[in-house]
């Protein structure tokens, strides 16, 4: 990475619109950027150069030159830049001190980034939590818990705002009052997928949204693969929750390995296709996330500054031990990460359907279950913990002579 | 010389008066029917002429003008044949004892003088009674249907020559020779032959059965979600069996619709059972809501006071489903065609069944491999307004084989029906002064009055509202269902357990509820 010769002869504010243009052309990657620097003194000089001058440099193909001049014609430099500023979108050039250090060092860095929101405070570890769009109940439970724990420990949770694992972990992180950062595959003003609108709003207030694509650019398949290198690039470590064998997540993992980032994976059942990717990562030597608390502590120890040496105990409120009725215990023993309908319990419980519904609603009040409507329920994190407690207590009883 | 006879026709499901006027004058011999008559009405002149001749009456070789008034409305059908014949006979001086202003005449004629049944007799007779007519002459086949209207003389006629005899008899002898029709089968409502499907045939699925029963008790629209082959249709088909029997008023409404669509015959002269229709998902919008050249009632009207079952609801065209919006909202449907606009009743209970996703396993992500896009596209077909109208939503899950083999029988239809009937009665008393009769129709402005909650219950309901992030509409739906559950269980007050159960039947979150 070099810098323009004149970088500091004009003020930063004056130069930013030209950087904005540079990114908006969509043609300037790390290589082209450095080529431009060899010829032009500043992005402004590049902008003002006409077709003849560009051709003389011998750096660009005829097609590229037409594209640059076309773009210039349809592009009103200052009004576009002003509009972006009004939307709260900052332009970050790679020469900007605010530009994340870790992203400067990757091979194909993005010369210009557009950003909404803000970066976390200095010294915070960055851990990305990524995974499949179509995740299982297990995957979404783990992602939510992981996002929450990382956020509570003060770690920045990085992801791509995609459906499934990405957005679940980010929502959990923000709800726990933590910080999260999303990299998009389109302009930062384009909410994609649409159902992530709420997450998007919160991110632009309490987190950050970054893209190398200019505002207004619609997301495209190839863009997602490109932005994945930024997710891994900014992260200290990458945690894969669920992934199919060939997926965008695995592209991110490849980027991470190339960039020398640590990769962790959450083991899954060998029969689920969303486990094939993660389990094969483990076989290849990725870190195993067997205990979420331990994982978070490891993250703090390894990447956190002295301020993060110990796990900042979250505001886990200790409630008095709940007492459960016999029937309730029977239900709790049957819980797993998958949702279930009340009818599924009827053969075990030998109760009337409405009694089972009542029982389940009672457990909802106690925080064990969550009602999903249409007679379907899903266990909460606490439900699983309670089940583990009950089952292990019973095993101890059996061990007694 | 002019002679007038009254006849009737139906517009929508309501009867309407048609005056048949006949004038005979000197001039070129010939017969003309005027008064915006359709071609089937125009052909009556030949039918009537031949039928009269075959019954021993020859029309004079004079100029005959037949006018059907009101003259500015289009008329169709063969139902005026008999009235035209009566007016012709009158103009020839053969009706001295008829008193046409007291009678209304309907019926079609065949060439040999037989009187043929027509559709729409019930609404016409109903209208005749409201207008103060004393007797109605109807085809014999339609007599039973017409006899649903009480306190008006129904005089069945089999042949034109009988009718001629009837017309010529002095008043004193008429009643003895042609007694008004009396239903021979006693109370028509005892007529409930035919095998009803029983709920005890369905093993397991207790929650679904209970939800169906509650839906039936409060006339709540019901949606069953589940993979194919789990018994959704089986359950839907058994719901008519647990609904309360039709009341007299309801029977009139239902029979009227069937009458105008020509679906009644000698075997089923009127509807004593609640209708059940399960159209295939390829059914055209016209078939469902009504239409065609003469704006006939569609399935939504034919299932009035009964059940419209949409199996594989997501497979229906979105336009077709959206057309259900008006009937679901207003309980009636307005069908407009080039010449007519009719409003048909359409107060049906919607029972819908669907898969949760193209493969059927969603939201069980261990088995469902549909992409989110596929799922949301699949579910988006029943978005918004239709979903809003569905009060009770329940999942039908695959049964444990053990349970099916165990033959665990649930309640029988008769037992459930008794509970439903009790709930309906409670609602009837509660809403005696209202225009609606079921909990599902309580307007939100009257929720406080009809679903009063004590402080404890209200706090609980609000906590459910908060924790499930409900919309206000969903909240009211929950309270209406809770009211019905309480009625169904015979509890006077809505308590926490009813609210809790009702909240389980709400639209599932994964479908945007």
Q: Give CA separation, A325 vs A31, A333, A363, A369, in Å.
A: 67, 12, 10, 15
CB-based contact (8 Å) between A137 and chain B? yes
A234 lies in the same domain as A355? no
Q: Is the dihedral of CA B123, B129, B130, B133 positive or negative?
A: positive
Alpha helices in A58-196 (DSSP H): 62-74, 77-86, 101-104, 137-152, 165-175
- Is there a single domain that holds both residue A222 and residue A296? yes
**From the list A347, A361, A375, which residue is nearest B395 (CB)?**
A375
The Cα–Cα gap between B296 and B275 comes to: 17
Nearest CA in chain B to A134: B371
Alpha-carbon gap, residue A184 to B494, rounded angstroms: 50
Looking at the structure, do residues A55 and A164 belong to the same domain, yes or no? Answer: no
Q: What angle do CA A372, B487, B412 make, to 5 degrees?
A: 85
Q: Which domain, by its residues, includes B421?
A: 199-436
ipTM of the complex: 0.72
- The three-state (H, E, C) secondary structure of B94-131, written as one string: CCCCCCHHHEEECCEECCCCEEECCCCHHHHHHHHHHC
Coil, helix or strand for A92?
Answer: strand
Q: Are residues B139 and B236 in the same domain?
A: no
Q: State the best of B203, B359, B395, B460 to mutate against chain A, taking most chain A CBs within 10 Å.
A: B395
In a domain, B350, yes or no: yes
Chain A residues 62-121 with a CB less than 8 Å from chain B:
none
Asked whether the beta carbons of residue A347 and residue B371 sit closer than 8 angstroms, the reply is no
Tell me the pLDDT of chain A (401 aa) as tens digits: 566 766 555 677 788 888 888 888 888 888 888 888 888 888 888 888 888 888 888 888 888 888 888 888 888 888 888 888 888 999 999 888 889 999 998 989 999 999 999 999 888 999 999 999 988 888 988 999 999 999 999 999 999 999 899 999 999 999 998 999 999 999 999 998 888 888 999 999 899 999 999 998 999 999 999 999 999 999 999 999 999 999 999 999 999 999 999 999 999 989 888 999 999 999 999 999 999 999 999 998 888 766 654 444 444 444 556 678 888 888 888 888 777 888 777 777 777 778 888 888 888 888 888 888 888 888 887 888 888 888 888 777 665 55
What's the total number of domains in chain B?
2
CB A241 within 8 A of CB A131: yes
Does A283 share its domain with A188?
Answer: yes
Domain membership flag for residue B27? yes
- CB count within 10 Å of CB A270 equals 8
The Cα of B436 is separated from the nearest Cα of chain A by a number of Å equal to 27
What distance in Å separates residue B180's CA from the closest CA in chain A? 54
Using the beta-carbon criterion (under 8 Å), do A135 and B504 form an inter-chain contact?
no
Considering only CB atoms, B206 lies closest to which of A135, A164, A346, namely A346
8 A C-beta contact, residue B90 and residue B111: no
Nearest to B141 by CA among B271, B8, B270, B246: B270
CATH number for the domain harbouring residue B384: 3.40.50.300
Interface test with A, best of B355, B366, B419 (most A CBs within 10 A): B366
Q: Based on the domain organization, do A247 and A131 belong to the same domain?
A: yes
Alpha carbon of B328: minimum distance to chain A alpha carbons (Å): 21
Q: Are residues A363 and A296 in the same domain?
A: no
Please indicate, yes or no, whether residues A80 and A142 belong to a single structural domain of this protein.
no
Nearest by CB: A357 against B365, B501, B507: B501
Domain count, chain A: 3
Domain residue limits at A37: 12-88
Are A278 and A342 part of one and the same domain?
Answer: no
* B224 domain-assigned: yes
CB contact under 8 A, A375 and B394: yes
Domain end marker among B436, B460, B487: B436
- The pLDDT assigned to B269 comes to 81
Task: Using the 3D structure, point to which of A308, A341, A375 is the last residue of a domain.
Answer: A308
Per-residue pLDDT of chain B (513 residues; tens, 9 = 90+): 789 999 999 888 888 899 999 999 998 999 999 998 888 899 999 999 999 999 999 998 999 999 999 988 888 888 999 999 999 999 988 888 888 889 999 999 999 999 999 988 999 999 999 999 999 999 999 998 898 888 899 999 999 999 999 998 888 888 888 888 886 654 554 445 455 688 888 877 888 889 999 999 999 999 998 887 788 888 998 898 888 888 888 888 899 998 888 888 777 788 888 888 888 888 888 888 888 777 788 999 999 999 999 988 888 888 888 888 888 888 889 888 777 788 899 999 999 998 888 887 777 766 777 777 788 788 777 767 788 788 899 988 877 666 666 656 678 888 899 999 999 999 999 998 888 888 988 888 888 889 888 888 889 889 888 888 888 888 898 999 999 999 999 888 999 889 989 988 988 776 654
**B397 and A338 in contact by Cβ < 8 A?**
no
């Amino acid at each position: 990475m070099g810098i323009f010769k004149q970088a500091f002869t004009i003020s930063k504010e004056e130069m930013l619109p030209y950087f904005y243009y540079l990114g908006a052309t969509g043609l300037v990657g790390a290589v082209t950027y450095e080529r431009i620097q060899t010829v032009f003194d500043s992005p402004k000089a590049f902008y003002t150069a006409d077709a003849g001058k560009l051709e003389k440099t011998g750096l660009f193909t005829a097609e590229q030159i037409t594209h640059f001049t076309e773009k210039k014609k349809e592009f009103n430099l200052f009004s576009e830049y002003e509009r972006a500023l009004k939307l709260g979108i900052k332009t970050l050039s790679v020469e900007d001190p605010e530009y994340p250090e870790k992203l400067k060092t990757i091979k194909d860095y993005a010369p210009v980034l557009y950003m909404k929101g803000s970066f976390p405070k200095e010294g915070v570890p960055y851990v990305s939590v990524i995974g499949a769009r179509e995740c299982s109940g297990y995957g979404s439970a783990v992602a939510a818990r992981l996002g929450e724990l990382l956020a509570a420990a003060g770690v920045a949770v990085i992801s791509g705002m995609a459906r499934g694992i990405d957005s679940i972990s980010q929502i959990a992180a923000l709800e726990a009052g933590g910080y999260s950062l999303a990299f998009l595959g389109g302009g930062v003003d384009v909410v994609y997928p649409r159902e992530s609108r709420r997450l998007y709003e919160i991110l632009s207030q309490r987190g950050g949204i970054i893209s190398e694509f200019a505002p207004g650019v619609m997301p495209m398949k190839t863009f997602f693969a490109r932005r994945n290198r930024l997710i891994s690039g900014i992260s200290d470590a990458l945690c894969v929750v669920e992934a199919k064998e060939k997926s965008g997540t695995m592209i991110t993992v490849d980027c991470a390995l190339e960039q020398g980032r640590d990769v962790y994976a959450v083991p899954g059942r060998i029969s689920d296709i969303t486990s094939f990717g993660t389990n094969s990562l483990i076989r290849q030597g990725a870190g195993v996330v067997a205990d979420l608390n331990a994982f978070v502590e490891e993250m703090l120890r390894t990447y956190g500054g002295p301020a993060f040496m110990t796990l900042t105990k979250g505001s886990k409120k200790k409630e008095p031990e709940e007492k459960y009725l016999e029937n309730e215990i029977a239900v709790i023993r049957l819980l797993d990460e998958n949702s279930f309908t009340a009818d599924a319990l009827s053969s075990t419980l030998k109760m009337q359907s409405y009694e089972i519904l009542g029982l389940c609603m009672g457990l909802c009040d106690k925080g064990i279950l969550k009602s999903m409507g249409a007679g379907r329920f899903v266990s909460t994190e606490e439900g699983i913990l309670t089940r583990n407690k009950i089952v292990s207590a019973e095993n101890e009883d059996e061990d007694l002579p | 010389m002019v002679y007038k006879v009254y006849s009737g026709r139906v517009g929508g499901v309501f009867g309407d008066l048609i005056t048949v006027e006949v004038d005979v004058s000197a001039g070129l011999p010939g017969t003309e029917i005027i008064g915006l008559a359709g071609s089937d009405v125009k052909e009556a002149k030949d039918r009537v002429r031949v039928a009269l001749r075959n019954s021993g009456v020859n029309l004079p070789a004079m100029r005959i003008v037949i006018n059907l008034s009101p003259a500015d409305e289009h008329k169709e059908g063969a139902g005026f044949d008999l009235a035209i014949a009566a007016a012709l006979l009158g103009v020839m001086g053969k009706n001295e004892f008829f008193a046409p202003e007291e009678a209304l005449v309907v019926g079609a004629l065949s060439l040999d003088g037989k009187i043929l049944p027509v559709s729409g007799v019930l609404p016409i007779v109903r209208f005749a009674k409201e207008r103060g007519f004393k007797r109605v002459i109807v085809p014999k086949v339609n007599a039973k249907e017409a006899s649903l209207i009480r306190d008006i003389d129904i005089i069945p006629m089999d042949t034109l020559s009988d009718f001629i005899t009837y017309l010529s008899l002095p008043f004193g002898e008429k009643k003895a020779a042609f007694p008004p029709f009396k239903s021979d089968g006693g109370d028509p409502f005892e007529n409930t032959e035919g095998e009803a499907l029983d709920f005890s045939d369905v093993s397991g699925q207790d929650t679904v059965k209970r939800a169906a029963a509650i839906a039936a008790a409060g006339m709540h629209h019901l949606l069953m979600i589940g993979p194919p082959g789990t018994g959704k249709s089986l359950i839907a088909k058994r719901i008519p069996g647990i609904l309360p029997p039709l009341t007299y008023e309801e029977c009139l409404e239902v029979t009227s619709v069937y009458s105008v669509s020509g679906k009644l015959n000698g075997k089923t002269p009127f509807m004593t059972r609640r209708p059940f229709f399960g159209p295939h998902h390829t059914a055209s919008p016209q078939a469902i809501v009504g239409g065609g050249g003469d704006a006939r009632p569609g399935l939504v009207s034919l299932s009035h006071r009964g059940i419209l079952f949409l199996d594989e609801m997501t497979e229906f065209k979105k336009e077709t489903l959206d057309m259900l919006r008006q009937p679901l909202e207003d309980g009636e449907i307005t069908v407009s065609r080039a010449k007519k606009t009719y409003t048909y009743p359409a107060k049906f209970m919607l029972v819908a069944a669907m898969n949760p996703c193209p493969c059927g396993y969603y939201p069980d992500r261990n088995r469902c491999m549909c992409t989110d896009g596929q799922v949301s596209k699949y579910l988006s077909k029943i978005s918004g307004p239709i979903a809003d109208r569905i009060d009770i939503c329940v999942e039908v899950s695959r049964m444990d084989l053990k349970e099916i083999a165990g033959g665990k029988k649930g309640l029988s239809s008769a037992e459930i029906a008794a509970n439903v009937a009790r709930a309906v009665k409670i609602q009837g008393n509660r809403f005696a002064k209202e225009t609606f009769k079921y909990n599902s129709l309580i307007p939100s402005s009257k929720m406080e009055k009809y679903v009063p909650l004590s402080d404890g219950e209200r706090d609980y309901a609000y906590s459910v509202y908060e924790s499930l992030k409900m919309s206000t509409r969903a909240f009211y739906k929950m309270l209406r269902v809770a009211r019905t559950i309480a009625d169904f269980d015979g509890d006077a007050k809505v308590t926490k357990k009813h609210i809790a159960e009702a909240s389980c039947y709400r639209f599932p979150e994964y479908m945007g509820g």
